[in-house]
Structure 1
Amino acid sequence: MFISYKVWIRRAATACLIVYSACLLYWMFLGFGRTARYSQPMQYSLVPLRTIWYYLSAGGKMPLSVRLVNLLGNVAVFIPFGILMPAVTGRLRSAAGLAVLFIPCITALEILQMLLRAGSFDVDDILLNLLGVWTGFGLLRLPCIMKRRRL
């Protein structure tokens, strides 16, 4: 039985998305030495760009590695979603469409992190994660854009 190229790509992308999502959930709730801090109050930041600005302006007060992990890490770990989601659904062909799907999902995960006290809810994490999704989507679209410009 012959499976078309598009079906094969969709199945492979779906398998990768499932495995990567499981890894991401582990990282968000259990990885990096995370433990529930039930004795502490729930932590959240609702002011856009506050945390990003804090890391950018910390200078010598905070190691560069900590700042990079918190800023670039929140972008980088979501790049695969921008690549895989359009391949899985076949319908998400715009950055806005990805945002409409992605923002509620990551918001729910951020809230769950806060409620379980495995982390905090930070609106800047949502912004950085969305930037990662859009970066992956842009990388996915790059060959198409380059091909059109050569014509």
Structure 2
Amino acid sequence: MRPFQTILGYFSNFDGLSITDQFVGNVLAFVPFGFLLPFFIPRLGSFIRMVGCTIAFSFSVEIAQLIFRVGAFDVDDLLLNTFGGVIGFLLSKVFNKKNRG
């Protein structure tokens, strides 16, 4: 599958987003990962390391879907999951900054 093919399909058939949409679901599923990773493993608290971990974890999920035949491998899922991780990471930085004073 080509990158952005599924994502562009979401927007070409746009009828409003809901939490049940695969687009929103993929992003929201990885927000906690990006948010919690720096708290539980501080050495992975840099942006680049977090993105690498998010891609690796997302790739593992996609491979598991192939192996167990419970979905399809989709490059766009990797992109959306990584975007969710980035949102979570940025939220963790804001949260951390507010708690410091």
TM-score range, shorter chain: 0.7 to 0.9
Identity of aligned residues (%): 36
Match of 1:17 in 2: none
CA RMSD of aligned residues (A): 2.4
* Cα distance, 1:100–1:65 mapped onto 2, change above 3 Å: closer
Matched AA of 1:80: P
* Cα distance, 1:138–1:65 mapped onto 2, change above 3 Å: closer
Matched AA of 1:124: D
Match of 2:50 in 1: 98
Matched AA of 2:13: A
Query: Could you list the runs of 5+ residues in structure 2 that have no partner in the other structure?
Result: none
* Cα distance, 1:123–1:67 mapped onto 2, change above 3 Å: farther
Match of 1:30 in 2: none
Cα distance in 2 for partners of 1:88, 1:115 equals 29
* Cα distance, 1:80–1:126 mapped onto 2, change above 3 Å: same
Cα distance in 1 for partners of 2:18, 2:32 equals 22
Cα distance in 2 for partners of 1:48, 1:142 equals 31
Task: State which of 57, 71, 84 in structure 2 corresponds to 1:132.
Answer: 84
Larger radius of gyration: 1
Aligned length: 99
* Cα distance, 1:54–1:68 mapped onto 2, change above 3 Å: farther
Task: State which of 10, 15, 19 in structure 2 corresponds to 1:55.
Answer: 10
Give the structure-2-normalised TM-score.
Answer: 0.83
Cα distance in 2 for partners of 1:55, 1:113 equals 21
Note the alpha carbon deviations across 1:47-105, whole angstroms, 9 max, x for none. Answer: 1111000011014xxx5457961111110111111111111111122221111122122
Q: What secondary structure sits across from 1:118 in the alignment?
A: coil
Cα pair 1:49 1:124 within 8 Å, conserved: yes
More helix by share: 2
Match of 2:29 in 1: 77
Q: Report whether the alignment pairs 1:119 with 2:82.
A: no
